[in-house]
Amino acid sequence: MQEQQSAIIVASLARLRAGQLNNLVARFGDLASALGQSAARLTDAGLTEQQADRIRAPEASAVAATMDWLQTEGHTLLVLGDESYPQLLAGIDDPPPFLYVNGGVDALHLPSLAIVGSRNPTKGGERNASDFAEHLAGNGFVVVSGLAQGIDTAAHRGALASGGSTVACLGHGIDRIYPAANRDLAHSIAAQGALVSEFPLGTAPDKRHFPQRNRLISGLSLGTLVVEAAKRSGSLITARLAGEQGREVFAIPGSIHNALSRGCHQLIRSGAKLVESADDIVAELGHWISHLRQPETEVETSVTEDLNDEQKDLLNIMGHDPVSIDSLVEGSGLTIDQLSSMLLILELEGRVEKLPGGQYATLHRPDSAERPSNTK
Predicted pLDDT of residue 58: 87
What residue ranges define each of the domains in the chain, with the CATH number in brackets?
A: 1-71 (no CATH), 106-288 (3.40.50.450), 294-376 (1.10.10.10)
CA torsion 282→287→291→292, rounded to 10°?
A: 30
Predicted pLDDT of residue 305: 55
pLDDT surpassing 60 at residue 290: no
| Least confident window among 76-80, 183-187, 227-231, 355-359 | 355-359
pLDDT surpassing 70 at residue 168: yes
The C-alpha atoms of residue 1 and residue 25 are separated, in whole angstroms, by 17
Q: Phi and psi at residue 137, in whole multiples of 5°?
A: -65, -35
pLDDT surpassing 70 at residue 188: yes
Render pLDDT for 58-73 as a digit per residue (tens, 0 to 9). Answer: 889 999 999 999 999 9
Residues 6+ positions from 100 with CB-CB distance below 8 Å: 11, 69, 75, 76, 77, 173, 174, 196, 197, 198, 199, 201
Over residues 120-146, the mean pLDDT reads 95
Predicted pLDDT of residue 1: 61
pLDDT surpassing 70 at residue 366: no
The C-alpha atoms of residue 358 and residue 205 are separated, in whole angstroms, by 35
How sure is the predictor about 339, in pLDDT bands with cuts at 50, 70 and 90? confident
The C-alpha atoms of residue 104 and residue 115 are separated, in whole angstroms, by 20
Over residues 202-211, the mean pLDDT reads 92
Calculate what percentage of the chain has a pLDDT beyond 90: 66
pLDDT surpassing 60 at residue 54: yes
Answer for the pair 200, 13: CB distance below 8 angstroms, yes or no.
yes
Render pLDDT for 34-48 as a digit per residue (tens, 0 to 9). Answer: 998 999 999 999 999
CA 310 to chain centre: 40
pLDDT surpassing 50 at residue 150: yes
Predicted pLDDT of residue 166: 98
Amino acid at 159: A
Over residues 251-278, the mean pLDDT reads 93
pLDDT surpassing 50 at residue 367: no
Answer for the pair 250, 224: CB distance below 8 angstroms, yes or no.
yes
Predicted pLDDT of residue 247: 96
Answer for the pair 231, 194: CB distance below 8 angstroms, yes or no.
no
Strands of the sheet with 323-324, listed across from one edge: 323-324, 359-362, 352-355
Predicted pLDDT of residue 292: 42
> Around 16, how many Cα atoms within 13 Å sit in the side-chain half-sphere?
28
Over residues 88-116, the mean pLDDT reads 96
SS (H, E, C) 267-312: HHHCCCEECCCHHHHHHHHHHHCCCCCCCCCCCCCCCCCCCCHHHH
How many helices (H) and strands (E) are present in the chain, helices listed first? 18, 12
Over residues 338-349, the mean pLDDT reads 79
Predicted pLDDT of residue 364: 61
For residue 228, the 8-state DSSP code is S
Helix (H) or strand (E) holding 146: none
Predicted pLDDT of residue 301: 39
Which has the higher per-residue pLDDT, 120 or 330? 120
Which has the higher per-residue pLDDT, 346 or 103? 103
Predicted pLDDT of residue 372: 37
Selection from 15, 251, 298 nearest residue 151 by Cα: 251
Predicted pLDDT of residue 348: 76
User: Where do the H-state alpha helices sit in 172-253?
Assistant: 183-192, 209-219, 234-244
The end-to-end CA distance of the chain, in Å, is: 45
The C-alpha atoms of residue 91 and residue 84 are separated, in whole angstroms, by 14
